[in-house]
Amino acid sequence: MLRPSQIAILTLVGLAFWAAATVSIRWSAYGLLDPTRGALMFATALPVGWLSVRATRSAARLAREQLAAGVLLAGAVAMLVDGAALRWAPQVYGDTEQLVRLGAAWLLWGYGVSLVLALIMSRAPAAATPPPAGSAP
């Protein structure tokens, strides 16, 4: 269960991630049009997603069992803002419909990568159970 302070922090984290992703799209928008640079942008979602999950965990001081819910909340906030911006202010992502579409695709990919990584990272490591006393190794 997330505490109210964590919910507030995660909401701010989601807004910050949305702003960072939007700036990234604007700065490298035409890179999305190039097949090689566009593919590299999608590939960078893996390390960036991992760093984002780690940053989210640290910022909200999430326990391992809270990680998936926390990243989901931050991601949901960012996705809600993305949805509203794509509907009512698509020009924040680019100046052509193609750039807006490719930017939206990159955002969806990045959110998906981050959510999958959060699920993987939230899995508790298998607990090593000591053998019963008196049993042979």
Taking the domains of the chain in order of start, what are their residue ranges? Answer: 4-122
Q: Which two three-digit tokens encode residue 97?
A: 């419909």
Output the pTM of the full model.
0.86
* pLDDT tens sequence across 46-71: 999 999 999 999 999 999 999 999 99
Please, are residues 2 and 10 in contact by the beta-carbon 8 Å criterion? yes
Please, are residues 71 and 53 in contact by the beta-carbon 8 Å criterion? yes
- CA separation, residue 117 to residues 40, 54, 70, 123 (Å): 19, 10, 13, 10
Number of H helices, E strands in the chain: 5, 0
Is the model more confident about 5 or about 135?
A: 5
pLDDT value of residue 129? 47
